[in-house]
Amino acid sequence: MIKAFILSAALAALSLPSALGIAQAEDKHIPTPIPSSDSCVAEESSVADGKSCNFADSLLEKLTPEVVEVYERRISGRPVVSHMDEAWLALASARAGVSEQKFKALALLADLMARTSKPVPVAALAKLGDFELLMLARKHAGIYLDGLPEEERESLKAEFKAVLK
């Protein structure tokens, strides 16, 4: 299954479908992965050099400090994950049964969901499959973006695209 992100798509879903290699299907909330030329066909397979070819891992790699900074400044208006110290992050991610990077992505998704519908604990999100998480991120990013004036929406998309390059 696709590991999260989404949550790099959590955020990244905020415009970032194309920047993340995710195309929109007919229903704008159903993502369709677009494999790059160097990606593997099977999710869990590895290339000869031993690197993972997992699509979700590549999404999580997009969750850089710059992406987090844009999310926290433009969307949340407060620190969501940037304030987490290493010890707390290690403990929280271990309790949730996910990597530290995925925990950050889940925390951002939980924040986004709280802004667009109702709060959902990170622990509950951690139990979902990667495809479900990606769909949630896309759905709530769409809801969030739909509530913005056109100029602000385009500005936000452009800023995310710039930090994802």
Task: Give the model confidence (pLDDT) of 95-114 as tens digits.
Answer: 999 999 999 999 999 999 99
pLDDT range class, residue 163, cuts 50, 70, 90: very high
Which of the two residues, 83 and 32, has the higher pLDDT score?
A: 83
The first and second tokens of residue 55, run together, are 């699509």
Q: What is the pLDDT of residues 149-162, one digit of tens each?
A: 999 999 999 999 99
What share of the chain in percent tops pLDDT 90?
60
CA distances for 40 relative to 54, 91, 141, 144, angstroms: 8, 32, 27, 32
> Among candidates 60, 134, 126, which has minimal Cα distance to 94?
126
CB 31 within 8 A of CB 138: yes
Judged against a pLDDT cut of 70, whether residue 34 lies above it is answered with no
> Among candidates 94, 124, 115, 11, which has minimal Cα distance to 60?
11
Gap between the Cα atoms of 67 and 51, Å rounded: 24
Tell me the CB-side half-sphere exposure of residue 121, using CA atoms within 13 A.
Answer: 7
In this prediction the pTM is: 0.70
Count the neighbouring beta carbons within 10 Å of the beta carbon of residue 51: 10
Domains of the chain by residue range? 7-164
Element spanning 33, H or E: strand 31-33
Mean pLDDT score of the chain:
76
CB 22 within 8 A of CB 36: no
The first and second tokens of residue 51, run together, are 């690197």
Q: What is the pLDDT of residues 36-52, one digit of tens each?
A: 333 333 333 333 333 44
The whole-number pLDDT of residue 12 equals 44
- Overall average pLDDT of the 107-128 stretch: 96
The first and second tokens of residue 11, run together, are 């955020």
The whole-number pLDDT of residue 59 equals 82
The whole-number pLDDT of residue 55 equals 63
Q: What is the pLDDT of residues 126-150, one digit of tens each?
A: 999 989 999 999 999 999 999 999 9
Judged against a pLDDT cut of 80, whether residue 121 lies above it is answered with yes
